Amino acid sequence: MTKQPDVGYGKPPESSRFKPGRSGNPKGRPKGAGNLATDLAAELGEEITVREGGRERRVSKQRALIKSLMAKALKGDVRASAAVLALYARVISEPEDESPTIAEDELIILRRFGPGLVKALRNTERAT
């Protein structure tokens, strides 16, 4: 009697398994397809025209959204007030991007070689 290959949960028949060196998703995600974060950032960054005090201004959608939320909060909308305060609390709790600290020995190296590097970079820019 011939030995039957193991087939079952987690062991598909050999004929339907991925071939070695071949991807299970050959087309993959198309280039330029953004994720939710990049799409949202792009959408919020677009500018729209807003009428403010009888004058038209161009502001980003993000700015317009914050202005409308703040206006509702100032008129007494409790939910808008809670949203503004929650957003503010989140923003102030995130650490700011701090400039990198440079150690003393690194600073000595930069002072010694920095001017020469700047000069070399300017020369290469002129050559191109």
Average pLDDT, the chain: 84
Of the pLDDT bands very low, low, confident and very high (cuts 50, 70, 90), residue 44 is very high
- Which pLDDT does position 128 carry in this prediction? 61
DSSP-assigned letters across all residues of the chain: -PPPPP-BTTB--GGGSPPTT--SSSS-SPTT---HHHHHHHHHHSEEEEEETTEEEEEEHHHHHHHHHHHHHHTT-HHHHHHHHHHHHHHHHSPP-PPPP--HHHHHHHHHHHHHHHHHHHHHHHH-
Better-predicted residue by pLDDT, 26 or 59: 59
Q: What are phi and psi of 58, to 5 degrees?
A: -100, 120
Flag whether pLDDT at 45 surpasses 90: yes
